[in-house]
Amino acid sequence: MLFNSIEFIIFLPTVFLLYWFVFKKLNLQNVFVVAASYLFYGWWDWRFLLLIALTSLCSYLSGTGIERHEGNRRRQKRISALNIVLNLSILCCFKYFNFFSENFAQLLRSFGCEPDAVTLNILLPVGISFYTFQALSYTIDVYRHRLKATHDPAAFFAFIGFFPQLVAGPIERATNLLPQFTRPRTFDCDRAADGMRQMLWGFFKKVVVADNCALFANGVFENYEAMSGSALLAGALFFTVQIYGDFSGYSDIAVGTARLFGIDLMRNFNCPYFARDIAEFWRRWHISLTTWFRDYVYIPLGGSRGGRWKSVRNTAVIFLVSGFWHGANWTFIAWGAYHALLFIPLLLLNKNRRYRDTVAEGHLFPNFKELLQMTVTFGLVLAGWIVFRAESIGQAAGYLKGMCDPSLFGIPAMPGIGISRALAATTLFFVFILFATEWLHRERAHGLSLRIQNRAARYIIYIVILLVILSSRATEPAAFVYFQF
């Protein structure tokens, strides 16, 4: 079920009313959350429910098993390893089997063999990377004694399957989200109202900005060989805005929806395009995944301990794995390697932690140095998104080569994509509204944390945004980009 669908508009208020007014007791609320979440997830294909149920059950049993063998570290290690291997095997089977099979067959062909690649004709379950990593965090944290194993299956299944963040994050830690399902929750009107504001801002990002930018980005990338350099740059800019509006919009809707149910989810984006270097960008982009890899891969590998070059090695591993997490394609690995190459010099110069504050804090405008840093960082990120968006390494190389043509300095023309100048102007206007609003609220939780004291003025703004969203909604709602990961 998509957030931007008629079904969700019916689903959410129904679940909300039943949750607070019918299923008032904690255990009943948790059971109802599981049922509602499974309905939400099974709306795409009910068969996907078998996988998430299996992941939840195995992870729940691994936690109780680790606790049962307290004092026997070897047995605990085996139980946690078994669950980790099982969940990663399921993920790899659905997401990476064909990639490895096809590349292995191609490798053998380079040695003169002619094997047929064995591929699986199966659908990739929506959000499998997200809920798998969430389940793994529980097992690892119980094994590390950072969290006690839960004996409440309803609470645990609700933690894994909580519908707002089930299919595209944030990837919640068991230490944050699970305890919220084990204690009574009370309705807070102010908290719910702020959640609705954040949802509204998320829908604006997705429906008004991202979906319209996608029309241009898709048209340019699908016809890149016929485009001028300036059109290719425009297409890359549109995709750069699209992926941010789409993914951060989903996160805003997820966080806001969770607040309606008395649940706090972590912030997943913090104005990443205002970053002053690549290290700051990664502290602000997809925060839940970045910190997951830091805590469960980078630090266990040794982190920054053991010398500078081990730090470099571990950093490179993190970026390559992060790229591969996004999909079974060499473009994602190349994208991860590209960011590693940008990040490692900052690490070697001990400058990877220099920007931990808010840019131009306390000022309306950035100074010249900050503006230059943000522009350069944005340009580097944009180049990476071209590789990320491309269907193949060859297409990425061709796109980048075409963008370096002297026509880069001409007026962009996008022949053959059938989009009017009026739509282009309107889209650019809303892109400006998005970034101007987020700049003004960069020290706050989301773009509609308005400082306007006049209640009437605030509600006029909300109504205008809602009307813009409704007028921008396509006949067929577009899926979120990160559903494929």
Helices (H), 261-350: 278-284, 287-293, 308-325, 330-348
CA 412 to CA 232: how far, in whole Å? Answer: 8
> Is the separation of the CB atoms in 316 and 344 below 8 Å?
yes
CA dihedral 236, 240, 246, 249 (to 10 degrees): -160
CA 163 to CA 104: how far, in whole Å? Answer: 37
- Apex CA 198: angle with CA 193 and CA 199, to 5°? 95
CA 263 to CA 434: how far, in whole Å? Answer: 26
> Is the separation of the CB atoms in 195 and 257 below 8 Å?
yes
Catalytic residue among 286, 326, 339, 446: 326
CA 314 to CA 456: how far, in whole Å? Answer: 53
Instruction: Select from 123, 130, 74, 79 the least CA-distant residue to 98.
Output: 123
DSSP-derived secondary structure for 361-410 = TT-SS--HHHHHHHHHHHHHHHHHHHHHHSSSHHHHHHHHHHHTSGGGGS
DSSP-derived secondary structure for 108-159 = HHHTT--PPPP----PPPTTHHHHHHHHHHHHHHHHTTSSPPP--HHHHHHH
> Is the separation of the CB atoms in 323 and 335 below 8 Å?
yes
Active site residue 363: no
> Is the separation of the CB atoms in 48 and 115 below 8 Å?
no
Angle between helices 26-42 and 153-161 (to 10 degrees): 40
Instruction: Select from 92, 34, 85, 96 the least CA-distant residue to 59.
Output: 85
User: Which residue type occupies 415?
Assistant: P
Instruction: Select from 126, 261, 269 the least CA-distant residue to 202.
Output: 269
CA 119 to CA 247: how far, in whole Å? Answer: 30
Count Cβ atoms within 10 A of the Cβ of residue 118 and give its class: 0-12 exposed, 13-18 middle, 19 or more buried: exposed
CA 238 to CA 209: how far, in whole Å? Answer: 10
Catalogue the active-site residues.
326
